[in-house]
A = this chain, B = another copy of it.
Amino acid sequence: MKTIEKKINEANNLCVNRIMESYPVLVDIDQALEVIPKMESNMLIHGGYPQLKWEEMIGPMKGAVIGAMVYEGWASSEEEALKRIKRGDVLFSSTANHGAAAPMAGIISPSMPAYIIKNKTYGNFAFSNVNEGLGKTLRFGAYDKGVIDRLHWIEKVLMPALKMILKKYGEIDIKELIMAALRRGDECHNRNKTVSLMFLNSIASKLVRSDIDRNNVADIIDFIGGNVHFFLNLSMASSKASLDAARGIEYSTVVTALTTNGVNFGMKVSGLGDQWFTAPSILARGKYFEGFDESCAAPVFGDSYYSEPAGLGGFAMAAAPAIVSFIGGEPDLGIKTTKEMYEITTTEHKYYKIANLGYRGTPLGIDIRKVLRTGILPIINTGIAHKNPGVGQVGAGILRLPLELFEKAQGAFGRKYQIKF
């Protein structure tokens, strides 16, 4: 008879293999109502888990909700939006219920374009919205006219163009872009500078050769080429699609979902099926934009936290040493962080390689046992939002996940499998 330790190790190997062998590609984009499962015409999806009531939401998420209502034409002002919310006109749900992953507030409304990421190896899908750029954006809780106009442009101009390219030329290989980006200074969570240009380069001449209006083509090139985070949403949905393929492996102690709604973190473990473990959301330590400091920061939120359990972001930071200019910290923070994360992970990624570390694979598969045994808490790279609605991004930084998540998960694991750690 196998010892429990052996069973867990085997299950974890199986789990990380499924994550690594996943092959995410972008296959289509269309309005959320058309493509996101169980989306409804009066629904607003927010990032994180669990699903929140309006009253529970943090400031920037409230701002994003108001903005999405204005964008959808459900309200023309904050007052009207609040009235409609009170009346119960808006159905709230969370990305976790819809196979989606969206950054920060993570608001997806029915008309918003949604990417369809397919995991070619295992056939499952994940969804995300389109990244709006830095600064004043809906996902950080801003909703002025500029923000709403940009969302309409994304829907009316960018989405049809991308859809046409995908239809005419076929899927775009996201896994390959991520592998290449790791050799070019990105970690694909908080640094997507080069990979966004690479994505643009894969479609730019195709747009020019199409019959899309020239000014629109130029605007699209400017938008993607000028948005250093354009690729983020593709990356995180790819991470989610990869992690989803590794769910429900009995005895596995590997983390397969990680997100935060700004109030609580939510985490899942492969061997514990669809059970979520939660702990209060916290502030990130980071670098603030000119004129802002920690006193105005909201707790962290969003689904981009799927990056780290998939071997990207903070875990791949050694590949992106220049990220410290964005998030702050000592120059060797990246290498130190990646090296530390090897202590709490199951394996080294077979395809995501870090040239800076002699082509070592990124640390992959957060093992809750190792986190608790070593006391090393996973490090996540993140953006920082203003705590009030309507302001937007004020910085970027890192954080360590709360111990509570892992204690709760290990407790549940012990009860389910009748073992003591």
Does A225 contact B208, Cβ atoms closer than 8 Å?
no
Does A218 contact B222, Cβ atoms closer than 8 Å?
no
| Minimum C-beta distance from A329 to chain B (A) | 11
| Minimum C-beta distance from A325 to chain B (A) | 8
Does B209 contact A218, Cβ atoms closer than 8 Å?
yes
Decide if A81 is an interface residue (CB 8 Å cutoff): no
- How distant is the Cα of A198 from the Cα of B197 in the complex, in angstroms? 8
Does B218 contact A184, Cβ atoms closer than 8 Å?
no
Number of interface residues of A (CB under 8 A): 34
Decide if A321 is an interface residue (CB 8 Å cutoff): yes
Majority secondary structure, A binding face:
helix
Decide if A418 is an interface residue (CB 8 Å cutoff): no
| Minimum C-beta distance from A301 to chain B (A) | 28
Does B197 contact A201, Cβ atoms closer than 8 Å?
yes
Does B209 contact A225, Cβ atoms closer than 8 Å?
no
| Minimum C-beta distance from A185 to chain B (A) | 4
Question: Which residue of B has the minimal Cβ distance to A197?
Answer: B197
Q: Which residues in chain A, 268-313, are within 8 Å of chain B measured between CB atoms?
A: none
Choose the segment among A155-163, A243-251, A354-362, A383-391 that binds chain B (4+ C-beta atoms closer than 8 Å).
Answer: A354-362
**Per-position binary interface string of chain A over residues 310-335, scored 1 when its CB falls under 8 Å from any chain B CB and 0 otherwise:** 00000000000110110000111000
User: Of B184, B209, B359, which one neighbours A194 at CB under 8 angstroms?
Assistant: B184
Decide if A183 is an interface residue (CB 8 Å cutoff): yes
User: Of B330, B331, B358, which one neighbours A332 at CB under 8 angstroms?
Assistant: B358
- How distant is the Cα of A278 from the Cα of B208 in the complex, in angstroms? 49
The 3 nearest A-B residue pairs measured at CB:
A331-B358, A183-B322, A321-B355
* A184-B184, A184-B322, A324-B355 known, 17 other contacts, Cβ within 8 Å: A183-B322, A184-B185, A184-B193, A194-B194, A197-B197, A197-B198, A201-B225, A204-B204, A205-B219, A205-B221, A208-B208, A208-B221, A209-B215, A209-B218, A321-B356, A331-B355, A331-B358
